[in-house]
Structure 1
Amino acid sequence: MSDNAHDANRAQQNVMPSDTALPPETADFSRFSTYNYTPLEARALLDRDRLTNPVPYSEELGGFHIFRNFEDVKRGLTNFGLYASSPSVQRPLPKGDIRDHPQAVAINSDPPEHSKWRKLLVAGMNAGVPARIEERVRADAAELIDAIVANGGGDLAADLAHQIPQRAIFYVLGFERDAELSGVHDITQKLLGSMRDSAEYRKNFDSLAAMGLRAVAERRHTPRDDFMTVLANYDFDGRPLDAEEVGRVIATLLIGGSGTAASTITSLLWNIFAQPQVRNVLNGNADLMPVAVEETLRLWTPFFALYRNVTEDHEVHGKRIAKGDTVYMCWQAANLDPQQFEAPHQFRLDRAENRHLTFGLGRHSCIGAPTARMEMRVVAEEMLKRGSALQLAKPEDVQLCFEGSETFAIPSLPVTCG
């Protein structure tokens, strides 16, 4: 590691928002949820009293125990028998009749149902996808960055980070014609905006399912190298997929591959632009980009946590957890555990061990992780090539927030040409 890299690591503490925006000392875990705190406040609270109170309890959202230390979260994520994903890994449940709100596949289920859905997803979204679409992702990144530069600036979140993963998922699925892309984009935005309203969600979901079913029918006659062709020919329990199942698969990919992926790209660009030393080091050391990607994923985990449902009475650190209780598996807190990571709140390009839990673990690990990593790397590489004249417009005004419950986001990252 060069001296420049060490300088970049030291500079992190001076130019990036630190976790000094503590919640009031009178705050306790009883009212913790991502609806009540900002990301910095939540991180600070989750760091409090790790050793003396390893499994705190919140009375919010129906009540839940909080797993926040690395080893507890790691064990919890791999024990699906004790900590079930069914019926839902999110809180609160949508308003209205849950039957009108089709659940994402795999993430809200346990074996054996989970196994058949994951097998289907992996058939179309696997480790071979990044290489297949990287050239197109790179072309998109170059086009979008050049447009920002030509305009004298723009918003790296809205004009770049949100565009890349959604286009990439369209390529994976096989929606490519301009009219097709526009239609899926519009429905996706409506679907994301109606997550907590079952009636509105159902209407938007049905539109997406109908579009997906048309594409599936077309692929049966004209197959392509895409996920829609996989769906068209898939043997699901001895039969073809129906409209609802096609819709659920497409919705899972569109929702899972948009908000969180946009968050990680924005966070990486923020780390680069807010730290000139880091930017300089990465410019001269292309091999460090994967390190920067992993450190961003660890430090600014795009999805804070998932809820799991306890299936039998047991104890953790001497605390009783009863059958029917809820446990909050907090990946972000685990990724900041000082027992696992040295100087966990620092962005370090010399971090040798970085086995973070950002993409989950075990049976429910994220199938899109290789693609997300590729998108982050490619966007950052193209930005360093093309965006040398860009700088953050107002670094001190960058806001961190939660969008859609557990999703960490930087909603806007304005840049100007210096």
Structure 2
Amino acid sequence: MNQPPLPEVLDLAGEHFHTDQYATYRDILEQRPVTRVRFYDGSLVWLVNRYEDVRAALSSPRLSNDPTQQTDIDLSAATGIPDDLSEYFRRNMFRSDEPDHGRLRKLVTREFTVRRINAMRPRIERITEDLLDKFAATGGGDLVGAFARPLPLTVMCELLGVPEEDRTDFQTWSQHVVESDPAFAERNAASYRSLFECVRSLVRRRRDEPGEDLLSALVEQRDAGDRLSEAELISTVFLLLVAGIETSVNVIGTGAFLLLTHPGQLARLRADDALMGSAVEEVLRYMAPIEMTSRHSLESVEIGGVSIDAQSTVLINLAAANRDPARFEDPQSFRVDRNDGSHLTFGHGIHYCLGAALARAEAEIAFGLLLKRFPGLELAVPTEELTWRHVFMRGPVALPVGWR
């Protein structure tokens, strides 16, 4: 069936990306897999969507991950980061190229090996059970606020050594700063400043009272070997706290939504818990928790037959690539037995997500114990009443549930 032609330039803040963006992604893949879009600040940028193009772009040395390399987007206006704090939020492994990327990544890699994550599973299970005990006592409510958010928040804060008294405020600030809409720029700027002060205070505390946590190890490496600057230290902690929490919040919230709205697939998973691993991969593919990431062209580059000038911003559409019919059979269907982990949700190449194993473990444990504890779990509102995060971050803002 032929789709109506796309507008010459799609607006990221427009209805095409806020009503049913997966229909838009389908149309883009069919009609214009490399296309121009209008960014939130009004700038024109490129959007790459096809699986093979996305995979190649993620690992291309001609596309930089360092935001200082680009000139066509006002990042401070788009994100709300105050200019005087910019370096403290952009000098981490995610926003750097080699050799800095490898140096920064190596400092935290040992904490995120599969072996180390497996050793953490009993503690993650205990946290999950405690949260479900509290939720059961309420008789129902928002699964995101009561479970999907506090689970990864608690795990990451324990890993880094964030005191319990700081976690509630941090949860609010981290939700604010992942918003990309400049309509919230003033609020976001205040949250960035609060986060900066919070992390700087934690660093000072760990200098005076080191522990066995990751933050203490990073502070020690900063002070003893001068292997990272103070700005890199703060930026790395910020990345781990925000990215390590918000991604998993979306995976757990979205996964619960998908299972509850696909009863046949939910029944299959309940009947065979050996499918849990493939079910998590399908959640990650079908609704990527982070829909898009960005790069900046260091030189002229051709992607998908389209010539892109040097110093251009390139948005890489992970969500569209994960539903590319050229790569995935029947990509619009959600199937817990798909057993295909080739999605690009965690990226590709040197910037492949360091926390992928932790996110998978949290999701597997969360879904397994949730379904076991609540066999009659169901949505408490019609799906059309749910509110979703839009573009870049994807997940339900809240997920009201009850049980029979």
TM-score range, shorter chain: 0.7 to 0.9
RMSD: 2.7
Q: Is the 8 A contact 1:84 1:309 kept in 2?
A: yes
Amino acid at match of 2:53: D
Amino acid at match of 2:208: A
> How do 1:17-416 and structure 2 match up within 5 A?
25=4, 28=7, 30-33=9-12, 36-38=15-17, 41-60=20-39, 61-79=42-60, 81-87=61-67, 93-95=75-77, 97-101=82-86, 102-104=88-90, 105-175=92-162, 180-194=163-177, 196-197=185-186, 200=190, 201-219=192-210, 223-224=211-212, 226-234=213-221, 238-239=225-226, 243-402=230-389, 405-416=391-402
Question: Residues 150-205 of structure 1: CA distance to partner in whole angstroms, max 9, x if unpaired?
Answer: 22111111110011111110121133xxxx21214413523542564575223430
Amino acid at match of 1:94: S
Q: Is the 8 A contact 1:149 1:390 kept in 2?
A: no
Q: CA deviation at 1:241?
A: 5.2
Query: TM-score, structure 1 length as denominator?
Result: 0.84
In structure 1, how many angstroms separate the alpha carbons of the residues matched to 2:258 and 2:189? 40
Q: Is the 8 A contact 2:89 2:234 kept in 1?
A: no
Alignment gaps of 5+ in structure 2? 179-184
Q: Is the 8 A contact 1:213 1:243 kept in 2?
A: no
Q: Is the 8 A contact 2:89 2:238 kept in 1?
A: no
Amino acid at match of 1:234: Q
For structure 1, which segment, 154-163 or 382-391, has the greater mean C-alpha deviation from structure 2 after superposition? Answer: 382-391
Q: CA deviation at 1:236?
A: 7.6
SS in structure 1 of the partner of residue 75 of structure 2 = coil
Amino acid at match of 1:208: V
In structure 2, how many angstroms separate the alpha carbons of the residues matched to 1:391 and 1:355? 30
Amino acid at match of 2:400: P
Query: TM-score, structure 2 length as denominator?
Result: 0.87
**Gap change, CA 1:330 and 1:391, over 3 Å in 2:** same
**Gap change, CA 1:194 and 1:302, over 3 Å in 2:** closer
Q: Is the 8 A contact 1:38 1:402 kept in 2?
A: no
In structure 1, how many angstroms separate the alpha carbons of the residues matched to 2:69 and 2:382? 35
In structure 1, how many angstroms separate the alpha carbons of the residues matched to 2:227 and 2:97? 22
Q: Is the 8 A contact 2:62 2:301 kept in 1?
A: no
Amino acid at match of 1:218: E
Q: CA deviation at 1:216?
A: 3.9
Alignment gaps of 5+ in structure 1? 1-23
In structure 2, how many angstroms separate the alpha carbons of the residues matched to 1:167 and 1:289? 23
**Gap change, CA 1:250 and 1:135, over 3 Å in 2:** same
Q: Is the 8 A contact 1:65 1:327 kept in 2?
A: yes
In structure 2, how many angstroms separate the alpha carbons of the residues matched to 1:203 and 1:71? 40
Question: Residues 198-220 of structure 1: CA distance to partner in whole angstroms, max 9, x if unpaired?
Answer: 7522343023212233124312x
Question: Residues 91-144 of structure 1: CA distance to partner in whole angstroms, max 9, x if unpaired?
Answer: 661237534232241111111111111111213333334223221221222222
SS in structure 1 of the partner of residue 20 of structure 2 = helix
In structure 1, how many angstroms separate the alpha carbons of the residues matched to 2:95 and 2:215? 22
**Gap change, CA 1:230 and 1:312, over 3 Å in 2:** same
Q: Is the 8 A contact 2:17 2:24 kept in 1?
A: no
Q: Is the 8 A contact 2:279 2:337 kept in 1?
A: no
Q: CA deviation at 1:77?
A: 0.3
Amino acid at match of 1:93: L
Question: Residues 243-271 of structure 1: CA distance to partner in whole angstroms, max 9, x if unpaired?
Answer: 54432222111110122210100111112
Q: Is the 8 A contact 1:212 1:250 kept in 2?
A: no
**Gap change, CA 1:242 and 1:59, over 3 Å in 2:** closer
Q: Is the 8 A contact 2:259 2:266 kept in 1?
A: yes
**Gap change, CA 1:172 and 1:132, over 3 Å in 2:** farther
Q: CA deviation at 1:409?
A: 1.6
* Percentage of pairs with the same residue: 26
Amino acid at match of 2:399: L
